[in-house]
A and B are shown apart, each in its own frame.
Chain A
Amino acid sequence: MKEIERVGLPITHITTITPVSRMVGANRILPAAGIIHPVGDAELSPDEELRLRRSIVEAALRALTADLKEQTIFPAVR
């Protein structure tokens, strides 16, 4: 992911263990919805799950448009 940033592309890292992402040096970090389903939730109905997924993706996109000076962990979507 840092290699992708190195070529100048903004990238949002959707991940559960955000401290590791920050330590490694990711700049745009968004907490995921869980280790086994980063953009999903098996407890939800398919419709609810898709709504959650969309919300997370939209938050990730907002992170992509943000101009940052430093590494940022964006607020989790729930």
Chain B
Amino acid sequence: MIAVETKKTLRVVHYVNQFFGQIGGEEKAGVAPQAREGAIGPAVAANNLLGQRGEVVATVLCGDNYFVENVESAIHQVLDLIAPYKPDLVLAGPAFNAGTPSVACGAVCQGTQTTLGVPGVTAMYQENPGADLYHRNVYIVRSGDSAREMAQVLGRMIALGLKLVAGETVGRPAEEGYFPRGTTRDEVVQKTAAVRAVDMLLSKIKGEPFETETPLPRFDRVPPPPGVRDLSQAVLALVTDGGLVPRGNPDRIERSAATRWGAYSIEGLNRLNSESYDVAHIGYDTAFVKQDPHRLVPLDAVRQLVTEKAIGRLHEVLYTTTGVGTTIENSQRMGREIAERLRDAGLQAVLLTST
């Protein structure tokens, strides 16, 4: 008798959102978690890439909005759907630059690791907030911001996932193409720290690329401004990044990756007439806000409060931009520009409503 060693075919579950799960677009972002046998959407490509090494036994999906609006229960529901398939590996997304899906992808990978003891891998673009939220606990492969590179990204996710399943040592972030997790591993290198530091400094001075050994956190902290002393005397301004614009979008604020913001008079208006507004935003199902803009910009409620003297006055300009796929640089610039206007307008308080 000859003993034949068969390498076990890995069982993989692929988590996706309603869009990749082929249920629908933003209008289906509220669907609850559900499981499908076999591979759907990007899981089909993942299955092909796995080849002999593994098989996507199930695709679990959940609406993006459902997940973030029910974050405590949704993760349990998703894990309960994944567990019976007894996967060796979970793949999630990829999320690319999509913010809302990134939260689910990160949470699912973190959940499978902690609760099911199964490695999870996802992929995101550098500026995706999910990357900042989860990179410490989850292996997040670096991707671009477009689903055009789906196959390559899935390939890298699978390569990393296979290592995790096999218990192999995972290489450095730069080598394997994932976001640094903040873990320090001692390595013996030839150059002393002093030499490495001076090399970096010389590269920096020469304008050559160099790789820092300790990246600084990206987001600075601003101390909380003191609370408003007396709201009944205060002037309040409304700002939104849900993309509410006057009909026809006169300033052509982009529906995604906005570089512009607008300042629109709400003087004398007690209500926002839905006929007079459009919603320039591709990141959520805008039908409900289009139907009633107050669902995004609470003008009616604020006017009531002003009449009742709970607030001194409402600033007569609404500031608006579109917060989907907005680059960090543009967000900061637009924020500074709007902040300057608000500061010069002599206000005391601001509300920002986001979708």
Q: Which residues of A contact B (CB under 8 A)?
A: 1-17, 19-21, 23-25, 27-28, 32, 34-42, 49-50, 53-54, 56-58, 60-61, 64-72
Contact = CB atoms under 8 A, between A and B. Distances in A.
10 tightest A-B CB contacts, nearest first: A40-B295, A3-B335, A27-B224, A37-B295, A11-B350, A15-B354, A3-B339, A7-B343, A68-B224, A20-B129
Contacts of B289: 36-37, 40
27 contacts: A4-B339, A7-B339, A9-B343, A9-B347, A9-B350, A10-B226, A10-B228, A10-B349, A13-B354, A15-B353, A15-B354, A20-B99, A25-B222, A35-B64, A35-B68, A36-B29, A36-B284, A37-B295, A38-B295, A39-B295, A40-B289, A61-B310, A64-B351, A66-B227, A67-B224, A69-B224, A70-B224
B220 interface: yes
Given A9-B349, A36-B284, A37-B289, A2 B294 contact: no
B298 A57 contact: yes
A10 B342 CA distance: 11
A68 B225 CA distance: 8
Most buried by B among A4, A10, A14, A49: A4
Nearest to B237: A9
B301 A68 contact: no
Contact of A68 (B103, B227, B287, B294): B227
B336 A19 contact: no
Contacts of B298: 39, 53, 56-57
Interface extent on B, as a size class?
A: 35 or more
A16 B301 contact: no
Nearest to A51: B301
B266 interface: no
B101 to A, nearest CB: 11
Interface in B84-108: 99-100, 103
B288 interface: yes
A6 B342 CA distance: 11
A21 to B, nearest CB: 8
A54 B351 CA distance: 13
Contacts of A7: 339-340, 342-343
Contacts of A35: 29, 64-65, 68-69, 100, 284, 355
B40 interface: no
B352 A12 contact: yes
A6 B305 contact: no
A38 B352 CA distance: 10
Contacts of A5: 222, 224-225
Contacts of B342: 4, 7, 9
B300 A50 contact: yes
B311 A61 contact: yes
A49 B298 CA distance: 11
Interface in B208-258: 219-229, 231, 236, 239, 242
Contact of A50 (B26, B223, B301): B301
A11 B352 CA distance: 7
